[in-house]
């Protein structure tokens, strides 16, 4: 089973909204393709490469258009952790996200 985390769902929505400012058609096309490719992880969870910044064999990524779909492989599921534009600083964004989560507690 492929499960999307709340932050990953928000990433997808923000990407769709951003693309929709220019083209609703392409916004739908890109978001649908991203979700469809994530569903293929059910059958092939190791298809993506190991995320180089993390170097954990269970944390992998698929490159879809100019986005990195980052996911973690568990024995019973695959969880999509984030959908990040390839130009963004992955580690910086991850640390900022963790800092915000701690401040919410």
Alpha-carbon span 44 to 38, nearest angstrom: 10
Give all domains of the chain, ordered by start, each with its CATH number. 2-104 (3.30.2310.20)
The DSSP letter of residue 61 is E
Tens of pLDDT, residue by residue over 20-53, are 999 999 999 999 999 999 999 999 999 999 998 8
Tens of pLDDT, residue by residue over 49-75, are 999 888 899 999 999 999 999 999 999
Residue 90 has pLDDT above 90, yes or no: no
pTM (two decimals): 0.84
Order across the sheet with 59-64: list the strands: 2-4, 78-85, 67-73, 59-64, 49-50
């Amino acid at each position: 089973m492929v499960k999307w985390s709340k932050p990953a769902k928000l990433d997808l929505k923000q990407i769709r909204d951003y693309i929709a400012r220019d083209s609703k058609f392409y916004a739908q096309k890109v978001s649908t393709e991203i979700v469809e490719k994530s569903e293929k992880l059910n059958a092939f969870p190791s298809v993506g490469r190991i995320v180089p910044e993390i170097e954990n064999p269970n944390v992998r990524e698929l490159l879809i258009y100019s986005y990195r779909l980052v996911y973690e492989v568990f024995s019973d599921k695959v969880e999509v952790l984030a959908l990040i534009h390839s130009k963004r600083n992955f580690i910086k964004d991850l640390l900022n996200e963790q800092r915000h989560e701690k401040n919410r507690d």
